[in-house]
Structures are given as structure tokens and as C-alpha cells.
């Protein structure tokens, strides 16, 4: 039996994405975003949605660039802090004790200590409502060598990213292996 709960912002799981930008004074800033994800395969693109009121919003509009930094579960405290504080009032890198690195590809900083970083050039801006979706072309991904798998691709079990539960506002670990995609469904057909 299904219960109607109205129009809420609930999709499970949401990612925890830390958006890196430079402000007008070239000060590096970061903010946490749960509304985002890959949105195109060719060119490879990622979407992140920000409210106009955020300090990072203007930085993306001005610089036409951002990074997306994916924290490991060990960095949940820093990631959460990046969603609470504003770069208008605080130097979030300094306060969290993390190191900004200037991307050579785009006009934005990434977080040295985070295991997985996307460098993005702004491709599209879509005003939706309270949030604006910024769609960035992923020019490169920088990955800690320690999280690379034996097959030459990054291994999510080594990255240990965070799964976010909106509304209840809880972070979870990624759990155990369930099945191979494009494979387990063949028991049914296709």
C-alpha cells in the first residue's frame, strides 16, 4: 500500500559533491552540494545545482569554471562543514585545514586531500527555480593513486564515497557489493 507524501526533494542515494571555485579576489572557496550528478556521456558532463544566494554562485558565473571534489567517508566532517559555513564569512580551506590546488585546466581550485576531483568548464546554465543547474564539461579527473583499481579504473570501494539521505539529513557509507550491472538483468531478458 502506497502513501502519498507530496512533492519532496527525495531521490536515494544522493551524492556528496564539494564544488570548488575562486571568488573575485581569487580566494579559493568550497561548498557542499547534494543536488548534482553526471548528466551527459559525450561530452562528459556533470550538473551541480546552487541557490543564487550562495557565495559560490557568482564565482561560477564569473569564472565559468568549477571543480567537483568527492570526499571519502573519513572526510565527512570537512564535507559537512562545507555545507554549513559560507565563503563570504570564512576561509573554509584554512579552517578545515585542507589545501587548495590551482587546476591547470580550468580557473578553479581543487582539494589536494580529497581522493577524487573533476575539473569542469561551464557549458550550460539553467535557471530552474530556487536552484540554478550549472552543467560543466568534465575536462579531466584527478584521482589518488591509492584508490585506483587493478583494472586501471578508480574503484568505488577504495574511494569510499558518502551516500546522502535528503530530508532525514543523514550520511551513510557505501555497503557491500550487490551485483554486476548490464549483467544480472539478463536472467530476465534483453
Residues 63-82 that bind a second copy (CB under 8 A): 68, 70, 73, 76-82
Q: How far is the CB of 23 from a second copy (least distance, A)?
A: 18
Assigned C-alpha cell, 170: 543523514
Residues of this chain, 121-160, that bind a second copy according to CB under 8 A: 123-124, 126, 128-131, 133, 135, 137-145, 148-149, 151, 153-157, 159
Burial 57-93 (b: 16+ CB within 10 A, else e): bebbeebbbbbbbbbbbebeebbbbbeebebeeeebb
Stretch that binds a second copy, among 22-30, 52-60, 167-175 (CB under 8 A): 167-175
Residue 107 in the binding site for a second copy (CB under 8 A): no
Nearest to 38 by CA among 122, 115, 106, 136: 136
Among 24, 25, 53, 177, binds a second copy (CB under 8 A): 177
Minimum Å distance from CB 79 to a second copy?
7
Q: Are 69 and 110 in contact (CB under 8 A)?
A: yes
DSSP 8-state symbol, 108: S
CA distances, 18 to each of 45, 119, 185 (Å): 16, 12, 33
Binding of residue 111 to a second copy (CB under 8 A): no
Nearer Cβ to a second copy (78/108): 78
Amino acid at each position: 500500500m502506497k502513501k502519498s507524501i507530496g512533492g519532496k526533494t527525495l531521490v536515494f542515494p544522493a551524492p556528496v559533491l564539494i564544488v570548488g571555485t575562486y571568488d573575485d579576489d581569487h580566494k579559493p572557496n568550497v561548498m557542499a552540494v547534494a543536488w548534482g550528478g553526471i548528466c551527459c556521456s559525450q561530452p562528459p558532463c556533470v550538473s551541480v545545482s546552487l541557490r543564487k544566494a550562495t557565495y559560490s554562485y557568482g564565482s561560477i558565473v564569473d569564472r565559468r569554471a568549477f571543480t567537483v571534489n568527492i570526499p571519502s567517508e573519513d572526510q565527512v566532517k570537512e564535507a559537512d562543514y562545507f555545507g554549513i559555513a559560507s565563503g563570504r564569512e570564512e576561509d573554509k580551506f584554512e579552517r578545515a585545514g585542507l589545501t587548495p590546488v590551482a587546476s591547470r585546466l580550468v580557473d578553479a581550485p581543487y582539494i589536494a586531500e580529497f581522493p577524487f576531483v573533476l575539473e569542469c568548464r561551464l557549458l550550460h546554465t539553467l535557471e530552474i527555480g530556487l536552484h540554478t543547474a550549472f552543467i560543466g564539461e568534465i575536462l579531466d579527473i584527478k584521482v589518488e593513486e591509492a584508490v585506483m583499481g587493478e583494472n586501471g579504473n578508480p574503484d568505488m570501494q577504495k574511494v569510499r564515497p558518502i551516500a546522502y539521505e535528503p530530508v532525514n539529513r543523514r550520511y551513510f557509507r557505501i555497503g557491500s557489493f550487490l551485483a554486476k550491472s548490464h549483467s544480472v538483468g539478463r536472467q530476465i531478458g534483453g
